Chains A and B, each alone.
Chain A
Amino acid sequence: MTLSEGTGLKAPAQPGPEPALPGGRKRPWAGESGESVTRNLVLVGVLAALIVIGAITQPELYGNSTWVWTNVLSILQLASVVGVVTVGMTFVIIGGGIDLSVGAIVALAGVWSTTLATQSYGAAGMIFTAIVVGVAVGLVNGVLISYGRLVPFIATLAMLVAARGLAAAISGKQTQISSNTFINGIASTKILGIPVLVYILGAVAVAGWILLNRTTFGRRTVAVGGNPEAARLAGINVKRHTMFLYGLSGLCCGIAAVMLTSQATSAQAAMGNLYELDAIAAAIIGGTLLSGGRGTIVGSILGVLIFATITNLFAINGLSTEAQNMVKGGIIVAAVLVQQFRFKSVTQFFARNRITSST
């Protein structure tokens, strides 16, 4: 708490009292990033705490260093698919929307890419299909939301139902086994001792980070989510940008579909169940503001890792899934409470600061 106030204190002091009215409301960049760094440090602390709990409860497993290494890899693999989905979700949420259809898109892209007709085109055909289907469905969401003026919640909820329905229709409600050795090999291949899935997650996360923090697209996303009207007046094509955000989420779902198909060596209409909730929850505890305009890729990835570590922790201790779900729910609530608390302290600080600067 003191840390964040400390960085907050410094930030508005530097630009001086003059830009306090336009800049003070949106908070300067230095303060913003400083706050998110603190928040991410807290998340890293939570991760460390979870690992310590694991080490205390299962000392004989944690005593074996090769086991610890494979366990870290297994957590990362567990996080990989949801992680990729969460990167796309983070963009959508920062842009002021929500995408409830991600799990359904993953299932549809997975099923579509594993039909026998698609499989006959080989691995490249399957990957192409999954990604095109993902992007196309995402863009349909985007068009409905930005040009059809549907509320994101409704549009993507409709897509959730429809995409799973289409997936079930295509698969004939059967599990489609992937017989493509390249696709199946993605999940079992390791390069330099690290599974390929983890590299994919890393690549998507880095690409997402660059896109959000180092490109105009990223800046526009924050602007659109923070205040769409101001963004429009500033010359941003808000509608088209919003559409692209859903397309981006769809792209991530397409990549995730290939990864999940590879992990399960098959696809079915019921796969990716409730991924939308996992992704939203991870983004939220990673500090993404549900109303848009704020969020970090690093925070979201840490959120995913925390959930994966909890799953792993409960598994190695042989505890039930019910208890695990309750703990997950508790963590989401706790994360939001902590964020509100921080937020209040920050706004209080600004209120105080304005009083002192006016006198």
Chain B
Amino acid sequence: MSKINSDLSRRRLLFGGAAVGAGALLTACTSNEAAPTTAQTKAADTSGGGNAAPGTKVTIGFSAPAADHGWIAAITNNAKAQAATFSDVEFKSVEAGADAAAQRAALSTLIAQKPTVIVLLPHDGKELNSFGLEAMAAGIPVVNLDRAFPDARAYRTQIMGDNYGMGVAAADYIIAQMKAKGVGSPIIGEIAGMDELELTQTRSKGFTETLAAAGFKVANRRAARFTVDSGQQEASQLLQALPRMDALWNHDDDQGVGVLAAINQASRKEFIMVGGAGSKQAIETIQADNTVLKATVTYSPSMASSAISLARLIGQKKGLADLVELQVPKEIVLASETITKENASSYIQLGF
């Protein structure tokens, strides 16, 4: 018995040694040397004085969900990078964890640090509404980033993308292309993002309503999960369901990598595809013009940079220089723009 044991332990040692060796070899492989995608910031233009000139010190507390895909990661990076461009801003970031409850816990530690302004991308606007009320009552202005609070007293300013407008923009582009090609009743596919999110529903609503106004309809709609592999999977099945298609709208460029892979694997190219969000990869693909992806409608994470700038102005009690009002507006909704081959070059630096 003891002999077996010692034999085993030697073997275990060998195994352990091999494992450590392989581990050492592999850890060398975790580096991602490429420069991180440049953040979308606006450098402070100090030449003209005005808002950009350093003012009172502002401490900005920031919270966004833990990133699991490109868009959220870009939000956090942008916020950080924009804060770094201001000499009068101190940036305090708390990781929001995996769900609304975790974010609420993280935010309460943030409140205790008494920041001047809080910039917050909530997991869910409805679930974190009470936090907004609490912070506002404590005298800390809240800038809501992208996911609206239902209660107007829960935020000082709200800046968000236009989900409905995204659907409208995508549909408008498809309608124009179909009319130009003279297709009377096109077969249109849609690959949505996570279906349980309200924003996905809003995007789809904008898309179908705009199409309906032109007399078109969506022939088949699949919901992926904003991840590349789910995009590939859903797209492969959608292509199977529609042996012939004229146009396809995919809600998210990150999952679009998978959608394009599926299209390539099925060697289909009879239709045009419109993306969503405006990732760098997608804009480059549109520029190269060698796939079915012909356009993408923006939902840019640059809004995080703008939110930091707004938070700074709120903290310094200043307004937007180009507007007459002395304070920052209560609500800003970004327009969804359509990026095509023609204007891609001017948008490429905004890709994330």
Contact = CB atoms under 8 A, between A and B. Distances in A.
Contact of A312 (B8, B228, B237, B243): B237
Contact of B228 (A112, A115, A133, A175): A175
Contacts of A112: 26, 29-30
Contacts of A315: 220, 222, 234, 237-238, 240-241
- Name the residue in A117, A260, A311 with the highest tally of chain B Cβ atoms < 10 Å from its Cβ: A117
A264 interface: yes
Nearest to A275: B229
Contacts of B306: none
Interface in B230-273: 230-234, 236-238, 240-241, 243, 254, 257-258, 260-262, 264-267
Interface in B69-115: 69-70, 72-73
Interface in A186-235: 187-188
Contacts of A172: 32, 36, 73
B257 A265 contact: yes
Given A115-B32, A129-B29, A269 B241 contact: no
B33 A116 contact: yes
B208 interface: no
B19 A139 contact: yes
B69 A173 contact: yes
Interface in B163-202: 195
- Name the residue in B34, B228, B233 with the highest tally of chain A Cβ atoms < 10 Å from its Cβ: B228
B348 interface: no
B31 interface: yes
B281 interface: yes
Contacts of A265: 228, 257-258, 260-261
Contacts of B40: none
Given A132-B22, A318-B241, A321-B223, A264 B30 contact: no
A117 B229 contact: no
Nearest to A322: B195
A64 B225 CA distance: 31
Interface string A59-87: 00100100100110010011000000000
Contacts, number: 148
Contact of B69 (A61, A139, A268, A318): A268
Contact of A266 (B26, B228, B240): B228
Interface in B14-45: 19, 22-23, 26, 28-34, 36-37
Interface residues of B, number: 54
Given A269-B68, A312-B240, A318 B219 contact: yes
A260 B236 CA distance: 13
Nearest to B258: A264
B67 to A, nearest CB: 4
B227 interface: yes
A157 to B, nearest CB: 14
B221 interface: yes
B186 to A, nearest CB: 16
Contacts of B266: 70, 74
Contacts of A77: 236
A334 interface: no
Given A116-B31, A172-B73, A264 B228 contact: yes
Contacts of B254: 175, 268
Nearest to B37: A174
Interface string A231-252: 0000001001000000000000
B265 A177 contact: no
B221 A318 contact: yes
B219 A175 contact: no
B195 A321 contact: yes
B264 to A, nearest CB: 6
A321 B222 contact: yes
Contacts of A322: 195
B26 A177 contact: no
Interface string A101-145: 000000000001001111001000100010011001001000000
A316 B240 contact: yes
B292 to A, nearest CB: 15
A273 interface: yes
Contact of A260 (B225, B229, B264, B267): B229
B73 A270 contact: no
Contacts of A177: 257, 281
B98 to A, nearest CB: 9
A266 B72 CA distance: 18
Contacts of B232: 263-264
A70 B257 contact: no
A272 B33 CA distance: 25
Given A78-B236, A272-B229, 4 more contacts: A78-B233, A175-B257, A176-B32, A318-B241
A-B residue pairs, 3 tightest by C-beta: A315-B237, A173-B67, A173-B73
6 contacts: A117-B31, A265-B258, A271-B227, A271-B228, A311-B237, A316-B241
Interface of B: 8, 19, 22-23, 26, 28-34, 36-37, 66-70, 72-73, 195, 219-223, 225-234, 236-238, 240-241, 243, 254, 257-258, 260-262, 264-267, 281
